[in-house]
Amino acid sequence: MRCFRVSASLALVVVVFVIAAFASHKNENLYYVSSKLASADEAIHSVCVVPGEMQLTKLGMKGKEGMEKESEEWANALQRIVESHLKAAQVEVVSSAISPDQLDANPDAQQLVLQVQKSYDGVAAQLEKHPKDIKKDRFSLGDEVAILPCSAKSDALVFFHAEGDVLTGGKKAFALLVKTVQEANLRISFVDAKTGDVLALIRIQREGDRFEKNPEKAYGKALDREFKKIKIGGYTAVAKKK
Amino acid sequence: MNHSSLLRPLFRCAIRCLSVCLSLSLWAVTEPELHFGKPDFTLLEEANQIDQIYARKGLIVTDPEITGYVESVGNKLLANQPPLENVTFKFRVIRDPVVNAFALPNGSVYVTSGLIARLQNEAQLAGVLSHEITHVSRRHGYLHNRDMRKKMVVIDIFQGAAAVGGAMAQGAANASNAAMSAAQSAALLKQELVGMSLQAAGQLGQAVMVASIFGYSREQEREADDSGIGRMMKAGYDPHAIPQALGLLDEHLEYEPIITFYRDHPKISDRIAETTKLADAPPASVFATFSESDYLAKFAPVIVYNIRADLSSRRERTALARTKRLLAWNPDDLSYQILMADCYRSLGAKSPEPNTEELTRHGVAEDRKLYFQHTEAEEQHTLRSKADGQAQLKLNRQSAEQTYLSVISKDPSKFEAYLGLGFLYEEEDRKAEAAQQYQQFLKVAPSDNYQRLRIQRRSENLQKSLSSAPTF
């Protein structure tokens, strides 16, 4: 009888841990829009996608390890998904000649992209800390963004960043005991291609393993919803400029 | 002439040679043998990936003359280096205004453009490279990695125990603090404004890789200093260049968001004292001397690049100091004069050098606040709200305007001067003059200049606002 009680309480502890571990899973979508975009003073009908920064990291019992090959596949998949959902929102994705392969062959263009990325990094820390200030039109990269040739044909530049932690088998088992989750964060910023003002930021957080195994399923619907909320492309009230 | 007077110089010479040989033998410690395991190969693979990321992002300076020169200095230092398993030494300059140098376990040694701009001669560069070579030859990266992996397991176990035991959490946290420092460095990458090299490396998960860029443990850094001095002497460089280089880095012109090993770890003054003591052991006269002007002639393009990078990273004072150095070396170069005018214009209401209050602890805290809580425009707004800020703004603008005009008078084809002058006039709300300068830029600048679209837009906006302005 006593043995039964001990094993029952042990089972209860395990069940509580498992439930706690699963209950703590959360998927979150957030968006921030500048007053210009919200008031339809500005509209986004065409974008130029700046090469993104995306990385998966393997998180094991002995620390972190890079996953270069998987990261590359993930980055390509995310880039395709973001672009296809932008198109679905009737946003024209301008052929930019700044895809990673094209940049390899054009060092001058590569330096311009680097310069614009550096400008973005300059505001990124504050943007991440105070995203609500986007509404107050607080952040700008300056009109230097016009140095990118594609900015001439687009309403906005799109910067996107993503990081994901992939747990190893051992870490997953351990995660039942200590709250460690497999998660990924995707951030997409829209920057005015003329003035450099930050127009909108979308943050999508995903937990579990779907973000790696099936990114379309993990992000597709969320992207559609967020694009609708920030009113770009077909969702905007302002007609496309001719 | 007696025998003793003849023998004395010979005797002195013999003593001198003996002392040099003794000093060199003291430093000739055999490199530790490393038996590669799976984690070591993983680390090696990641180091190779970091090399690829840097190259893919266009961060490496590819000018063959500059690369060749840095390689030649590095190879001189490797003259007596026995081959190391899984190490191919490469010496590169990386585009990053943060003052730093680092070595990856695969033998790739990187010196940032920020550090290149700070050093004065080849011997100092050799000092930096020899320090980094030691990190590779003594396998500091691998040893640090193995150490970290052990600590991470302990941390995990403590965390697990803490989750079960609850009260053990504090003890576990204390035990793991030291091990977490590298991981915190990695976390910093995601939160703060950091250098391009650190950011790119931070894309890979290994905290140890980030640690190798920020700096290793105190003991390993000291070992690299000590061994670096021996390596320099063997290559014929004056070892005093190491403390000299460290002295140059102890510069406080503005708030530094990242303190890398080269600026702080261990305290730079201690390192200067220790390396001076070691360098004093052999006689200095046997080493060749290297001039600053030769160094500047080699690295001027990198320094110019770095000045531009400093200007776009809110380090206007540093940019101005480096430009003045270039101008002291070559005062007639008009492109350096334009660069100086750009620095004065970018300074806005900021003084060219920090005042005494800024150097106090309170002043540094205020600078930090301005840097992290305010955008660049907000920082300028805060400075301009004070009377001395207004006065400084006026002075800086005057210096910038005079320099731009002087360049144009000497060579009217210098289109960058029209550009700077246009920006300056627009900031001062002198719209008509700004529009005129932009027009001049569009007339003189090459048709494929990347600034054209930006200036065309500015010019159109100014024309619009001028034509819509009420006339009296």
Report the chain A residue with the minimal C-alpha distance to residue B48. Answer: A68
Whether B208 has a pLDDT exceeding 60, the answer reads no
Which of A66, A103, A146 shows the shortest C-beta gap to B204? A66
- What tens digit of pLDDT does each residue of A99-133 get? 666 777 777 888 888 889 888 988 888 888 899 99
Distance from CA of A87 to the nearest CA of B (A): 26
* pLDDT for B185 beyond 60: no
B149: contact with A, CB 8 A cutoff:
yes
Residue B296 and residue B200 in one domain: no
Structural domain contains residue B183: yes
Same domain, B344 and B277: no
Distance between A151 CA and the closest CA of chain B, angstroms: 9
| Residues B91, B214 within the same domain | yes
Between chains, do A147 and B454 touch, taking CB under 8 Å as contact? Answer: yes
pLDDT confidence of B25, banded at 50, 70, 90?
very low
Examine residue B17 and state whether it is found in any structural domain, yes or no.
Answer: no
In a domain, B14, yes or no: no
Of the listed ranges A190-199, B184-193, B207-216, the least confidently predicted one is: B184-193
Check whether B282 has a pLDDT greater than 70: no
The percentage of residues in chain A with a pLDDT greater than 90, rounded to a whole number, is 29
Strand A198-207 relative to strand B108-112, pairing:
unpaired
* H-helix or E-strand spanning residue A17: helix A2-23
Confidence at A81, pLDDT banded by 50, 70, 90 = very high
Contact A63 B454 (CB under 8 A): no
Average pLDDT value for residue range A62-86: 84
Give pLDDT, residue A16: 65
Contact B372 A123 (CB under 8 A): no
pLDDT at position A142, please? 92
* Spatial distance between the Cα atoms of B50 and B204, rounded to a whole number of angstroms: 8
Mean pLDDT of B242-261: 78
Query: Mean of the pLDDT values across residues B298-317?
Result: 94
Section B143-172 average pLDDT: 65
Q: What is the rounded distance in angstroms from the CA atom of residue B72 to the CA atom of residue B64? A: 12
Determine contact: B164 vs chain A, CB below 8 A. yes
Please indicate, yes or no, whether residues B299 and B283 belong to a single structural domain of this protein. Answer: no
Domains identified in chain B, total number: 2
Taking an 8 Å cut-off on Cβ atoms, the answer to whether A119 and B312 are in contact is: yes
Average the pLDDT over B287-303 and give the result.
94
* CATH number of the domain where residue B461 is located: 1.25.40.10
Tell me, yes or no, whether B142 and B224 share the same domain.
yes
**Residues B253 and B310 occupy one common structural domain:** no
Average pLDDT, chain B: 82
Q: Both B193 and B332 in a single domain?
A: no
Give the nearest partner residue to A125 out of B42, B159, B193, using CB atoms. Answer: B193
Distance between B289 CA and the closest CA of chain A, angstroms: 36
pTM: predicted TM-score of the whole model, two decimal places: 0.82
Lowest mean pLDDT among A4-13, B233-242, B298-307: A4-13
pLDDT given at position B169: 41
HSE-CB of B62 using CA atoms within 13 angstroms: 11
Q: Which residue has the higher pLDDT, B452 or B184?
A: B452
Q: Do B375 and A126 touch (CB under 8 A)?
A: yes
Average pLDDT over residues B219-236: 88
Which amino acid makes up residue B5?
A: S
* Residues 6 or more apart whose Cβ sits within 8 Å of residue B406: B337
Can you tell me the distance from the alpha carbon of B409 to that of B156, in angstroms, rounded to the nearest whole number? 68
Question: What's the distance, CA A58 to chain centroid?
Answer: 19
Tens of pLDDT, residues B71-113:
999 999 998 888 899 999 999 999 999 888 999 999 999 999 9
CA–CA dist B57, B411 (Å, integer): 36
What CATH number does the domain located at A26-235 have?
3.30.160
The DSSP result for A18-47, as a single string, is: HHHHHHT---EEEEEE-HHHHTTSS--SEE
Considering only A95-109, A125-139, B360-374, which range has the smallest mean pLDDT? A95-109
B161, two tokens? 């125990």
Q: Point out the residue among B62, B372, B453 whose CB comes nearest to the CB of A152.
A: B453
Residue B22: inside a domain, yes or no? no
User: Residue B124 has what pLDDT?
Assistant: 96
pLDDT band at A94 (very low <50, low <70, confident <90, very high): confident
Q: Which of B58, B206, B451 sits opposite A64 (nearest CB)?
A: B206
Shared domain for B104 and B247, answered yes or no, is yes
Does residue B423 carry a pLDDT above 70? yes
Residue B258 has pLDDT above 80, yes or no: no
Band (pLDDT 50/70/90 cuts) for residue B160 is: low
N-to-C CA span, chain A? 82
User: Which residues 270-329 on chain B approach chain A with CB closer than 8 angstroms?
Assistant: 309, 312-314
Nearest chain B residue (CA) to A175: B160
Asked if residue B59 belongs to a domain, the reply is yes
Q: What is the pLDDT of residues A3-28, one digit of tens each?
A: 666 677 777 776 766 555 555 556 78
Contact yes or no for B204 and A57 at CB 8 A: yes
Do residues B332 and B348 both lie within one domain?
A: yes
**CB atoms A111 and B196 under 8 Å:** no
User: Closest Cα partner for A223 from A78, A44, A124, A96?
Assistant: A78
pLDDT at B168: 41
CA-CA-CA-CA torsion sign (A123, A31, B199, B100): positive
pLDDT over 90 (residue B409): yes
Higher pLDDT, residue B330 or B366: B330
Chain A partners within 8 Å of B204 (Cβ): 55, 57, 66, 68
pLDDT at A139 over 90: yes
Residues of A in contact with B192 (CB under 8 A): 125
pLDDT of residue B172: 40
B1: pLDDT strictly greater than 60: no
Same domain, B369 and B268: no
Name the pLDDT band for B183 (thresholds 50, 70, 90): very low
At residue B29, does pLDDT exceed 70?
Answer: no
In a domain, B113, yes or no: yes
Of B273, B290, B307, the domain-final residue:
B290
For residue B4, tell me if it sits in a domain.
Answer: no
In this predicted model, which residue has the larger pLDDT, B31 or B83? B83
Query: Both B100 and B242 in a single domain?
Result: yes
Of A107, A138, A139, the CB nearest to B58: A107
Query: B145, B157, B206: which to substitute to probe chain A, counting the most A Cβ within 10 Å?
Result: B206
pLDDT at B231 exceeding the cut of 80: yes
Whether B98 has its CB under 8 Å from any CB of chain A: the answer is: no
Structure tokens at B340: 């100086």
Answer with the one of B230, B264, B290 that is the final residue of a domain: B290
Contact A139 B372 (CB under 8 A): no
Question: Are A92 and A202 within 8 A, CB to CB?
Answer: no
Q: Which residue has the higher pLDDT, B106 or A180?
A: B106
A143 vs B457: CB contact, 8 Å cut-off?
yes
The domain of B434 spans 292-468
Q: What angle do CA B127, B133, B139 make, to 5 degrees?
A: 145
A104, A107, A147 member nearest B450 (Cβ): A147
Identify whether residues B286 and B308 lie together within a single domain. Answer: no
Taking CB atoms and an 8 Å limit, are A63 and B193 in contact across chains?
no
How close does chain B come to A114, measured CA to CA in Å?
7
Across A222-236, B263-277, B375-389, least confident range? B263-277
pLDDT interval class at B343 (50, 70, 90): very high
Closest CA of chain A from B234, distance in Å: 38
Look at residue B261 and tell me whether its pLDDT is greater than 70: no
